[in-house]
Structure 1
Amino acid sequence: MLQSMIWIGTALTLAGVALLGYCIFVVARARKKGGTEEEIKARMQKVVALNLVALMVSAMGLAAVTVGILLG
């Protein structure tokens, strides 16, 4: 049971890190496109919610791994 918690937590953490990488890619592409500061800011605002979700998923995964290790 606890070993599966560690593996599920690892999967969640990796998914969160992958989403963070995607957010970085989107923002870098938005900056590379150029434009006015307001246009760039508007493009980046669209990624903020996804970035927060990615951080939460990654944190939940790390918490699951920690609990699995401490209880195991």
Structure 2
Amino acid sequence: MTIWDGLIWGGTALTMLGLAALLWCIVTAARAKRQNLDDEAMRAVMRRVVVVNMAALAGSVFGLMFVVLGIMLGK
């Protein structure tokens, strides 16, 4: 296993973590919507969901960049 293989697998793991966090965001927002929360409570839940969502998207992007970099540089 070379350093590039490690970069590919690390990027894959980071991407999967990002996707899991995105799934958490979807489930949390759906639960909050089903609970019919008042406006202020819904805003509090959505603030947290948006922060996690942005971090998850960034993690997925960086993970995919690592995978592409590992593939390109490993050849």
What TM-score, normalized by structure 2, do the two folds share?
0.86
For structure 2, the residue ranges without an aligned partner over 5 or more in a row are none
After superposition, the C-alpha distances for 1:33-62 in whole angstroms (9 at most, x for unaligned) are 013445433321221111111111111100
Partners of 1:68 and 1:25 in 2: how far apart? 32
Larger mean Cα displacement after TM superposition, 30-39 or 3-12:
30-39
State which of 52, 68, 71 in structure 2 corresponds to 1:69. Answer: 71
How many correspondences in the alignment?
Answer: 72
- Aligned positions of 1:1-72 closer than 5 A: 1-72=3-74
For structure 1, the residue ranges without an aligned partner over 5 or more in a row are none
Which stretches of structure 1, 4 residues or more, deviate above 6 A after TM superposition?
none
After superposition, the C-alpha distances for 1:3-59 in whole angstroms (9 at most, x for unaligned) are 110000000000000000001110000000013445433321221111111111111
Percent of matched pairs sharing the same residue: 43
Amino acid paired to 1:9: G
Partners of 2:22 and 2:31 in 1: how far apart? 14
What TM-score, normalized by structure 1, do the two folds share?
0.90
Partners of 1:71 and 1:24 in 2: how far apart? 35
